[in-house]
Each structure stands twice: as structure tokens, then as C-alpha cells.
Structure 1
């Protein structure tokens, strides 16, 4: 596969996003079943002229895929500069579906780095065609962008040192709490501070890596974020045993791939691809690779088993937000 990046993102090696022949066969069969049974969207075979995104991709001659830099294990760059992760693997299946739909099997991909702060703007302005990372699907964001079938369900918790004395959110009185700017955790932390009248100092950082560094260097006592992402930060830390994910979840959230609004043909293609991955069992295999086995860069295992909510999602895919 050819990949290009105007942001100097190194070309990922084939193994970071390879779609195996057997996986393709399973997904094609599952997609046919979805279409024949009506489980997919009725516009599944819509002409790409009905899709601004697909038409733009055809005319441009390249797919622009947004990816995160440090959202382990969803979408991130390892120590060799390769883009990888659970969401990125799903995104590459969508890339294959776009190529198939446009009948251009060698259509190149431009990998474009995005952040929590600029991802919605970049989708809206057409700087990227879609992104699959760790973006929460909620009704507020639906006013600006469209979301795919849910790809992950998380809870919002905290990361602290094991000896911090912080077990739950009520223990944050007089503490410093960092979160990543532009995330739903930032809104939830502000809401917690105001509604419970907790005297805490709120710190925002540019990305998850910077948030963890703020915690690691003692400038914060806790780091609030989605639980799976916190486990990812622990996995890449120098001393994983020093950290613990704690606290009753403040919310449950649904991650989805993000694309432009009012483009039903593009959403149909993306949703049918993801639905086929889930009902065929391929999505669960991808999950196991990233959440239950050693992963780069430190070859550590997140030990984050598949939840009941995720099993149900894979059994009955949907695009419903939690809030």
C-alpha cells in the first residue's frame, strides 16, 4: 500500500494495517449477508456521485485518513514512527472498502495527524475524509459531524500513583487533576468541580502523552480520561507497576469513526464495513490483539478483557451515543 503524509508521518509498514485475505473473505460474506437481510443501510450500493466524500476522494486520487499520535491502543505512533492501533486497524478495513467501492485497488492513503482540539474542524473542512481513533460520539458533536457504528464503549475514570490515597472522585478535594484539552473528560471534570463543589485544581494538556507527563512529574495528582486510554498510558510508562486506574466511572461513552455530516452514502459504506467486521468475528480478533496481548512500544499487555457491553455491541452493532 502506498501512504503519503504532508505532515512527515512515516509510512506505516504493511504489517501495521494489513488486511489478510481470509479476513477480507469473511468480511465480504458478512457484508453480503447484511445487505441481503436488510441489516445494513438500504443505500449500501449508492453511487459515489451521491457522496461528496467519495466523489472528492476519486477526484483527488488519495484517501486522507486522520490518526492520533498517542491514543494507545486505539490510534498512535510507536517508537519507530509507525501508525497502529485497534481503531487504526478498523480504519484500514474502511480504506479497503473505499478502494473496492471506487474500483481503485491501489488508491493511496495520506495519513494525517490530528489532535483532540482540531479533529472536528479538520473533518468539517475536508482536511481529512474520516478518522477512527478515540473520539466520543455524543449528541452535541452530532450537530457538527457524523459518526459511524460504535467501535468501542468506555468508562471515564482516573489514573493515579498507587500510594496517592485517591480511590474515587470524592478524594480529589485539594488535589490537582489533569485531563486532555478538547475531550469529554474536560467537560466532565469541570462539571464535577462545579456541581459537587470540590476544591480541586484543574489542569489541561495538549494530548494524552502530555497529560501523563504532567502526572508523572508530580505536577498533578490524578489524570482523568477514558479508562482504556489510561491503561494505554500505563502500558507505555517506564514503571507500570507504580500506577493504578481507579474511581467509579463518571460516564460511559461510545467511540465512533467520524466523518462529515449529510453524506449518507459515505456513512453507509463505513457502517456496513464495521458491521461486517463485528458480526463476522473479525472485530473481536482485532480487539484481542490490542487489548489482551503485548503491544508496542514496550511490549506490555493492557490485560483489558472484552466487556459484556462490547460483546453485545459486536453481536448487535449500532450507532447510538450514550449522551
Structure 2
């Protein structure tokens, strides 16, 4: 019938229109989240460099103090040599020593003694020169360490300020985009109900709601467990930076489960993430779960596959409640790879990220 066909076409067009708008809003949400996390990652790296520079400065300062102490001992030894020479204890002329000898054997013994005294003085003077050189080297190293520490501190301060600025801007942008997305989501649901009704589907509202729920649970399909949520950003180069994980939006308090058993390396405060849990699995891979609101495990604890480890939060450099998951293959923050293959191997459906 023409009327029904026209109604279906109108409803379908409206669904397509609103779907595109929702996708654009979600893209903006993903963009601001990724940029905020990138700023946090740069801040974390700068803070780690600062800690390393502080340790180097402490080490070189200790080495300098050791060198200064050795120089003082050596210089005191030289002063003793000077006093001995002045008092004549070790400065008897060779001719006098030899003329006073009782015989040929005594002459040889006295000559050998004079030679040993000369060698001893030379070695002691060389030792002084050596420790003085060591002190100069230690002083130069200490000055370099201080310069590097100052530079690292300045970089860390700049990175922290940039991260905080990026977060503030991202949160404002996120709030706007999230409000728009929520409104559009309702429009989309209404349009889908209209389309299903035009197509003759009974209880169109329930059918549309069920379809929307399935669309937001892409992270729970499959045989594994992780979190019930909607994937908003994948791993890779995006918006001029590298996103090192997968983001899954979910309400605060949503349970997070371990996709595989392992040992808890850390659980608690984490730079950039507010709070995070780090699990090391049997093959050495470390998985990171960031921005968590609370955690159920502690460092050193052994967890089993499917065990609840934390709850979704909005802490740290976060624009909205979500889980950020990463996989590290050579130690913490070393060789970070796309989590999708690892998650898929453990029965986790990563949707478009796969």
C-alpha cells in the first residue's frame, strides 16, 4: 500500500539520519577521550624520566662526596711527605747515607732503601693526582646530573600542566558531546520504533530496546568475560596520536573480570589512570585496566579466569566512565601491542576493533 510504503521510507530515512548523527557524536566522545589519555601517557613518561633523573643526581652526588673524601686523604698524605722531607726523616742525601755505611753490604742495603723510599713517594704523589682527577670527573658528572634533573623537572611540570589542560578541555567537550549523544540516542530509538511499527512488528518498543541493548554489549559476547559495555575506541594511530589500548564505555560500578588468570602486579593509584589494576599472565603478558572506580584485588594476589577484579570508573585523565585496557609484552609500558588479538584469543568479542 502506498501509505505504508511511504511511512516505511520516511521512518527508514529518519533512522539513517539520526544514526549518522549518533555516530558523529560518539566519534567526538572517542576523540576527546583518546587525546586526554595521550596527554596522560606523555605526563606519565615525563614523571618516570624525572624519577630516573633524581636517582642519577643522588648517585652522582654520593660519588662526588666519596671522591672528595679520597682527595682529602691523599692530600693529607702529601702534606705528611712534605713534613717528613722538611724534618729530614726521609731526605738524607744519598752521598751521606752511603758514606756512613759500615761496609759494602750496608751500602747496598742503604741504596735499596733509598730507592724504595723514592718509589713510595712517587706512588703516593700519583695516587693524589688520580683521586684529584676522579674528583674532577665526579664533579662534572654531578653538575651534568643536576642540569638533567632541572630539565626533567621542567619537562614533567610542562607535561603535567598540558595533561591537566587537555583533561579540562576534554571533559567540557565530552559533556557537550555526551548530552548530544544521549538526546540523539533517544531520537534514534523513537525512529527505530516508528520504522518497526511501519513494518508491522508487534511491540515495536520492546524490539527496538532489545536491539539497542545488544548493540551496547559488544564487549561481553563470546566465551570470555571482561566487562559489559560499548567499545568507543580501538588501538592505533588516531587524531594525531597513538592510542595504546581499547576503551569500553560503561556505567560507573560495572564489574570488570579477568579474561585470564594471573598475578596482580599492582592495584591502586596509577599516573594518568587515577586507579588501575595490572595483571601478569602465565605467558608474561601484562594486562592493564585503567580508570577503575574500585578494585577487588591486591598486589601479589593470584586471580583466576573470570574473577572480578575491579569496577568501571571515571578517575584520572578520563572524560567519562569507561574501561581502558592495554596489553604489555615486555614489562610494564614496554612493547604495548593491540589488545584485540589477545582478547579474542580469550573469548572476548571486541567488535570493530578485531
TM range (shorter): under 0.3
Decide which structure has the larger Cα Rg and report it. Answer: 2
TM-score (norm 2): 0.20
Q: Which has the higher helix share?
A: 2
Q: Which has the higher strand share?
A: 1
Larger RCO of the pair (alpha carbons < 8 Å, separation 6+): 1
